[in-house]
């Protein structure tokens, strides 16, 4: 069976007045039916740009896909017309955004906002059927159905995120993009929302791309994990494999070292040296090389190819000879 989503050699740049921002630089990534892929990276790595590219939501005139294809069920959606995209968006592919406080319309009742998805994609559905679906979904995400006539400001952050999830799932999408769905929430609420996403994903058998900077969230939710740095996927593999913490890309290794561990006592963390590269002025060779503690001469000159190490793919010159140790 072919993959649900396949991204090949995707390049995206933002043409701003001052400079050209190279946001994505050759992304290759695929998601299977029903699979959960975690996309991990820091601010400015291109995580959200990738999600926007899939959804066709890149800012007009500024954001431009310069190369590559995004195949959804073997059809290149980059060539899809506006009407085709509208039919796809919210129905087959849906997305929840980072900030639940700003992704709802403040002057429309939440029930009507959820219903809008049905109005758009199921014109034949009767009004009573739509009402029934909205009630059903609200109850499913843990909000009493009678609250559908309230406005977003009457709900707390966690509740708003539940409403956004209800909206994204009402059409039972095949692919569900979640862009930092729990970053703005407290830990106890975060664990409630992650649990909810997990249950619903199973119920509707959707595939999910979970974008986050939190390695812990990925460990709890995902099957596969991809690390993104400066618009490139630098490591890709199963969560089990990557979290064994052996033979990681130096950047992934660095990310693990930055998180204080709950079970061991260390005196000092081992941070990654320096800061994220400037996407308007990318270095030659490996983009992580200026911060890498294993940097070799070749790293500064040649862009590393993707090496297959066990079941994992790593974009680093260190793995030329295969596995380390």
> What is the contact surface with other proteins in residues (CB under 8 A)?
42-43, 156, 158-159, 186-192, 194-195, 213-217, 219-220, 239-240, 243, 254-263, 266-272, 275-276
At its nearest, how many Å lie between other proteins and the CB of residue 43? 5
**Pick 3 or 213: Cβ nearer other proteins:** 213
**Residue nearer to other proteins on the CB measure, 90 or 254:** 254
Number of residues that make up the chain: 325
Both tokens of 233, joined, read: 């996927």
| Nearer Cβ to other proteins (89/160) | 160
Give min distance, CB of 220 to other proteins, in A.
5
- Gap between the Cα atoms of 210 and 99, Å rounded: 15
Least distance (Å) between residue 271 CB and other proteins: 4
Q: Which residues of 144-180 are buried (b: 16+ CB within 10 A; e: fewer)?
A: eeeebeeebeebeebbbbbbbbbbbbbbebbbbbbbb
Task: Look at phi and psi of residue 282 and say left if phi exceeds 0, alpha if psi is from -120 to 50, else beta.
Answer: beta
Closer of 69 and 191 to other proteins (Cβ): 191
3-state secondary structure 175-192: EEEEECCCCCCCHHHHHH
52 vs 155 by CB, closer to other proteins: 155
Angle 158-161-162 (CA atoms, 0-180°, nearest 5)? 90
In the complex, least distance from residue 61 CB atom to other proteins, rounded to whole angstroms? 25
As measured in angstroms, the least distance from the Cβ of 80 to other proteins is 34
């Amino acid at each position: 069976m072919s993959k649900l989503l396949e991204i090949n050699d995707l390049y995206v740049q933002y043409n701003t007045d001052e400079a050209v921002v190279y946001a994505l630089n050759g992304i290759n990534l695929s998601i299977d039916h029903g699979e959960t892929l975690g996309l991990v990276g820091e601010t400015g790595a291109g995580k959200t740009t990738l999600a926007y590219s899939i959804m066709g939501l890149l800012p007009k005139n500024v954001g431009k896909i310069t190369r590559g294809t995004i195949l959804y069920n073997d059809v290149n959606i980059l060539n899809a017309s506006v009407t085709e995209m509208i039919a796809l968006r919210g129905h087959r592919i849906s997305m929840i955004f980072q900030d639940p406080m700003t992704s709802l319309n403040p002057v429309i009742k939440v029930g009507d906002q959820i219903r809008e998805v049905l109005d758009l994609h199921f014109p034949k559905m009767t009004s009573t059927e739509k009402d029934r679906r909205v009630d059903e979904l609200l109850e499913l995400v843990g909000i009493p159905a009678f609250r559908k006539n309230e406005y977003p400001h009457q709900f707390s952050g966690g509740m708003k995120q539940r409403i956004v999830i209800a909206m994204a799932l009402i059409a039972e999408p095949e692919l569900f993009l979640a862009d930092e769905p729990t970053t703005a929430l407290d830990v106890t609420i975060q664990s409630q929302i992650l649990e909810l996403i997990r249950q619903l994903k199973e119920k509707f058998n959707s595939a999910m791309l979970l974008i986050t900077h939190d390695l812990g969230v990925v460990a709890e939710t995902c099957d596969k994990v991809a690390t993104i740095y400066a618009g490139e996927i630098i490591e890709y593999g199963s969560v089990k494999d990557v979290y064994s913490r052996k033979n990681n890309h130096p950047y992934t290794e660095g990310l693990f070292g930055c998180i204080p561990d709950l079970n061991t006592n260390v005196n000092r963390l081992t941070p990654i040296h320096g800061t994220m590269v400037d996407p308007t002025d990318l270095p030659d060779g490996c983009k992580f090389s200026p911060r890498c503690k294993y940097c070799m001469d070749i790293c500064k000159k040649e862009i590393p190819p993707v090496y297959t190490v066990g079941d994992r793919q790593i974009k680093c010159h260190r793995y030329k000879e295969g596995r380390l140790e």
